[in-house]
Amino acid sequence: MSSVLILEDDLYTNAFIKKLISKNPLIENIYCTTTGGEAIKFIEDYRPDIAILDIKLADGDRYDGIEVGKITKHISPYTDIVYITGYPQYALEAYTAHPYNYILKPINQEKFHTTISSLLKINQGKKEKLLIIKEKNKIKLFKPSEICFIERNANKTIMYTSEGLYETSSKKFNEILKSLPSYFYKVHQSFLVNINYVEEIEITQFRTYNIVIKNYDIKVPLSRQYYAKLKYYLGY
């Protein structure tokens, strides 16, 4: 299942795009924003599979869609970009963000559906990109789907996989986050969790939260600020 971000400052068009994609059974989560800053924050927090971006936003917005696209590729390389705009003159500059497609307004629904369907099909068929950790005398390869969660502990990063633990000091915690697909979620300043390995979320009598991870007799702390975001991500 895929997640989609929509950045469009016109509320009618924003709702129209959401309506176009909401019936697709392969799309699970849709995030709608109207400003560049909101979009960047969403991408940092949720790393959607697809970002549908308007280019020319409201006057006074700190970012335009092209800048958002460039930042997206930096913080979430897995996210595919589709531009939707009424300004054909921005096409050349927009391609510096390496979008999958550039669609002009008024939106041709057939072209739009073809673009989104093609992207979803590509995403489904993508070979899993390995996480590469380079040490002094070796290179270690990990399948992200086999990583249950990741912990930052002082100067070390510990990966808890379905086959055991691995420690590294050569790659920083935030660098690893950028290399992971969107089903990894930051739940604490020191923990990343693969959503597919979340068994349950515990709420203690002190209103703190813990995540129970499949395959591990370990409870991962879930901070309050990330609890609300995780609820939004999971749709409950």
Residues of the chain where predicted confidence (pLDDT) is lower than 50: none
3-state class (DSSP) for residue 9: coil
Question: Are the beta carbons of 33 and 58 closer than 8 angstroms?
Answer: no
- Record the pTM: 0.67
Q: Which two tokens stand for residue 233?
A: 């991500």
User: Of the CATH numbers 2.40.50.1020, 2.70.150.10, 3.40.640.10, 3.40.50.300, which one belongs to the domain with range 131-234?
Assistant: 2.40.50.1020
Selection from 191, 195, 226 nearest residue 209 by Cα: 226
Residue 99: phi and psi, rounded to 5, are -75, 160
* Distance in angstroms (rounded) separating the CA atoms of residues 17 and 1: 18
pLDDT digits (tens, 9 = 90+) for 11-34: 999 999 999 999 888 888 899 999
The string over 124-161, giving b where at least 16 C-beta atoms fall within 10 Å of a residue's C-beta and e elsewhere, is: eeeeeeebebeeeeeeeebebeebbbbbbeeeebbbbb
Residue 124: the pLDDT is: 72
* Distance in angstroms (rounded) separating the CA atoms of residues 100 and 206: 47
User: Of the CATH numbers 3.40.50.2300, 3.40.605.10, 3.40.50.1100, 3.40.710.10, which one belongs to the domain with range 2-124?
Assistant: 3.40.50.2300
pLDDT digits (tens, 9 = 90+) for 96-130: 999 999 999 999 999 999 999 999 888 776 657 78
Q: Which two tokens stand for residue 129?
A: 């990109």
One-letter amino acid identity for 169?
S
* Distance in angstroms (rounded) separating the CA atoms of residues 67 and 36: 8
Cα 10 → chain centroid: 23
One-letter amino acid identity for 95?
Y
Residue 2: the pLDDT is: 84
Adjacent-strand bridge partners of 3: 29
Where do the domains of the chain lie? 2-124, 131-234
Token pair 């979009």: residue: 39
CB atoms within 10 A of CB 26: 15
Share of the chain above pLDDT 90, in %: 44
